[in-house]
Amino acid sequence: MTTYKVGYLVGSLARESINRKLAKALIRIAPEQLQFSEISFRDLPLYSYDYDADYPPEARAFKDAIKAADAVLFVTPEYNRSIPGGLKNAIDWASRPYGTNAFTHKPSAVIGTSPGAIGTAVAQQSLRSVLSFCNSPQMNAPEAYIRFTPGLITDEGEVTVAATEEFLRTYMAEFHTFIARVLAVLPREALA
């Protein structure tokens, strides 16, 4: 079976992020054909087109990590009914300058958790809009808006509610299938 490299971005920069816990849980229960590496955007400066002629090293490394991945998983909180500013800034770095968008034809999935009743539904819709513009094929179903409750996911990434664990396992299996389907139509060699 083919193994796929999945880069994942945790939308929150907080050390104790519940979305980081969710990411750890997703990696733990994902199909073994998915190999994960976090693509950090913590050290990126604010994007400006003034950098387009000469990206700083942090931005080049970030963009190269996106390019090297077969797919991207976004695990994001919701800030003020949208995605965190740091995550949007990272996407701007990876998609610019015009004609060098690292997300073009890159399979992606969006998930997130929040203590709120609707999870991260509005942030995910905002992110999906940005990813559509970036020409990233997105897994649109199943949708996953996880309401985080204390103890739902341990620090080690164990999900303590069986129904939630099974849902997340199905979500990751669907993501694996989606990646394979997209890359069968848009093989990496054709994108190089």
pTM, two decimals, is: 0.95
Which residues, other chains included, contact 92 with Cβ-Cβ below 8 Å and sequence gap of 6+? 47
- 4-190 placed in CATH 3.20.20.70: no
Q: Which residues pair with residue 109 across a beta bridge?
A: 73
Number of Cβ within 10 Å of residue 36's Cβ equals 18
CA-nearest of 53, 54, 27 to 38 is 27
Spatial separation of the C-alpha atoms in residues 54 and 61, rounded to whole Å? 13
Tens of pLDDT along the chain (192 residues) come to 899 999 999 999 999 999 999 999 999 999 999 999 999 999 999 999 999 999 999 999 999 999 999 999 999 999 999 999 999 999 999 999 999 999 999 999 999 999 988 889 999 999 999 999 999 999 999 999 999 999 999 999 999 999 999 999 999 999 999 999 999 998 665 554
Contact 52, 96 (CB under 8 A): yes
Domain ranges of the chain: 4-190
